[in-house]
Amino acid sequence: MGVGKLNDEQLMRRANSAGRNLAVLATLATCGGLGLWAIAFLSKGPQLWLVAPAVALSLLGAGYWMLAVAAFRGNPQSITVVLVLMLFQLAVTLVWAGVSAARTGTDFSTNFSATHLAVPILVLCVLGSSRSVLVELQHRGLSLRAFPSGRSSRALCFFGGTLLAAALVFIDTGTGYAAWKIDKVRAAENESARKFVQLLKTEDKGFMAATAQVVKLNLNRQANATAALDQANVLEKKLEALRKETDEDGSMATILTTYGNAVKAYKSALLVYKDPRGDEKHAGELMALGDKRRAEAGKELKEGFGSALEH
C-alpha cells in the first residue's frame, strides 16, 4: 500500500521508520569500524593496513548517526542525502567494473555480478519508502504532531552528508588503488596467457608433429628423434623466456610449469626412442605422461583465462 493511501494514524505510526532505518545503517558501520580498530591494534602485531578502512567506516558511522537524528526530527532531506550518495556509489562501482573489464580484457560479468545489486536495491527501496512517509507527513501538515520538538536539522543533514561523502571518497580511493594494482597483475597474466597460446599454435604444434613422426615411423627413427629434440630445445628456451616475464606467484606460472613438465617428459621419451636399445614400452609411458601434463596445462589455461582469450 502506498503512503498516500494511509490514514493519518497509520502514517503517524510509521513516522520514525526513517530514523530507525538510518540508525541500523549507523550501527552496522560503527560496529564494523570498532571491529577493525580492535583488530588493527589489539592483535599480536599492529595491522596498520586496517587503519584506512577503520577510519572510513568510522566516518560512515558518524555520518549515518547525524542523519538518523535528523530523520528522527522529521527531515526528509536526511534520507535524500543517503539515497543520492548510494546511487552515486553504485554508479561508480558499475563504471569501475567496466573500466576493469576493458583494462584486463575480460567480460564485464567477471568483474561485477548482477547478484551484487540485490542488497543495495533492497536498501534503496526501504529508504525510499521511509522518505515517502516523511514527505507525506509534511504534505498533510502532520510533521509538528509527529515530531513535536520542532528542532532544526539542516546542519545535521549537511555535516552528516559531508561525513558520508568523505567516507565514500576514502573507500573509493583505497578500493580503486587496490583494484588498479590487481587489474595490473591480471592484465599482465592475460598477456602471458595470450603469448602462451601463440606458442602452442606455432612451436608446440611443430614439436608435436615431429614427435608423432618419431612414434609412428620406425624408419629413420634416430634422425627423427634428434630433429624433434632440437625443436624441444627451442620450445624450452621460448618457454623459459615467457616464464621470466610472468609473475611467479600467479596462476600462469603454475600453468607454464605444468606444460614445462610435459615437454620434459616428451624429451625423455625421445631420448629413449633415439637409443637403438631403448625400451619402447617405457618411451610410450613417458609420452603418455607428457600428454597428461599437456592436457592439464590446457585445462588450467581454459578455466583461468578462457574469458580473456576470447577477446
**Minimal CA–CA distance to 23: which of 65, 55, 59?**
65
Three-class SS of the chain: CCHHHCCHHHHHHCCCHHHHHHHHHHHHHHHHHHHHHHHHHHCCCCCHHHHHHHHHHHHHHHHHHHHHHHHHCCCCHHHHHHHHHHHHHHHHHHHHHHHHHHHHCCCHHHCCCHHHHHHHHHHHHHHHHHHHHHHHHHHCCCHHHHCCCCCCCHHHHHHHHHHHHHHHHHHHHHHHHHHHHHHHHHHHHHHHHHHHHHHHHHHHHHHHHHHHHHHHCCCCHHHHHHHHHHHHHHHHHHHHHHHHHCCCCCHHHHHHHHHHHHHHHHHHHHHHHHCCCCCHHHHHHHHHHHHHHHHHHHHHHHHHHHHHHCC
Residue 104 · residue 200 · CB < 8 Å: no
pLDDT range class, residue 222, cuts 50, 70, 90:
confident
- 220: left (phi > 0), else alpha (psi -120 to 50), else beta? left
Residue 57 · residue 106 · CB < 8 Å: no
Whether 144 shows a pLDDT value over 70: the answer reads yes
The span from the CA of 6 to the CA of 283, in Å, is 84
In this prediction, residue 59 carries a pLDDT of 95
Whether 108 shows a pLDDT value over 70: the answer reads no
Amino acid occupying residue 128: G
- pLDDT, average across residues 259-284: 91
pLDDT over 90 percentage in the chain: 50
Whether 104 shows a pLDDT value over 70: the answer reads no
Lowest-confidence segment of 26-30, 150-154, 256-260 by average pLDDT: 150-154
Whether 310 shows a pLDDT value over 70: the answer reads no
Domain regions of the chain by residue span:
3-185, 186-309
Q: 186-309 is classed in which CATH architecture? A: Up-down Bundle (1.20)
Per the structure block, which three cell numbers stand in for 173?
Answer: 580511493
Residue 273 · residue 283 · CB < 8 Å: yes
Whether 24 shows a pLDDT value over 90: the answer reads yes
Whether 175 shows a pLDDT value over 80: the answer reads no
The span from the CA of 235 to the CA of 225, in Å, is 15
